[in-house]
A and B are shown apart, each in its own frame.
Chain A
Amino acid sequence: MTTAEDHKSDGIGKDLIVYVCLLALAGLQFVIAYQNIDASQMFTRMLAVACIEAGLAVLFFMHLWTEKRAFLLFVVIFTVGVLLGMQYGWTDSFRMVTGTPFAK
Chain B
Amino acid sequence: MSQADLTIGHPTGQTLGPAFAIPTKKLAMWLFIIADTMTFAACLVAYGFLRNGTPDWPRPFHSITNVAIMTFILLTSSLTMLIGLRSARAGDKAAAFRWTMITAALGIVFAFLHIREWMGLIDEGMTMFKNPWGTGLFGASFFSITGLHLTHVTGGVIALLVVGVRYKGGRYNADDIEVLGLYWHFVDLVWMFVVPLVYLLNLTH
Q: Count residues of chain B with CB under 8 A from any CB of chain A.
A: 51
Q: Cβ of A57 and Cβ of B197 under 8 Å apart? A: no
Binds A, one of B46-54, B124-132, B149-157, B162-170: B46-54
Q: Cβ of A1 and Cβ of B22 under 8 Å apart? A: yes
Q: Count residues of chain A with CB under 8 A from any CB of chain B.
A: 49
The listed residue (B20, B21, B192, B195) touching A54 by CB distance below 8 A is B192
**Interface of chain B residues 160 through 205 with chain A (CB within 8 A):** 174-175, 178-179, 181-182, 185-186, 188-189, 192-193, 195-197, 200-201, 203, 205
Q: Cβ of B78 and Cβ of A96 under 8 Å apart? A: no
Contacts A15-B83, A67-B20, A90-B49 known; list 5 others, CB within 8 Å. Answer: A1-B1, A19-B78, A26-B195, A43-B197, A49-B196
The residues of B with any CB-CB pair to A shorter than 8 Å are 1, 20-23, 26, 30, 34, 37-38, 41-42, 45, 48-50, 52-55, 64, 68, 71-72, 75-76, 78-79, 82-83, 86, 89, 174-175, 178-179, 181-182, 185-186, 188-189, 192-193, 195-197, 200-201, 203, 205
The residues of A with any CB-CB pair to B shorter than 8 Å are 1-2, 4, 7, 12, 15-16, 19, 22-23, 26, 29-30, 32-34, 39, 42-43, 46-47, 49-50, 53-54, 57-58, 61-62, 67-68, 70-71, 74-75, 78-79, 82-83, 86-87, 89-90, 92-97
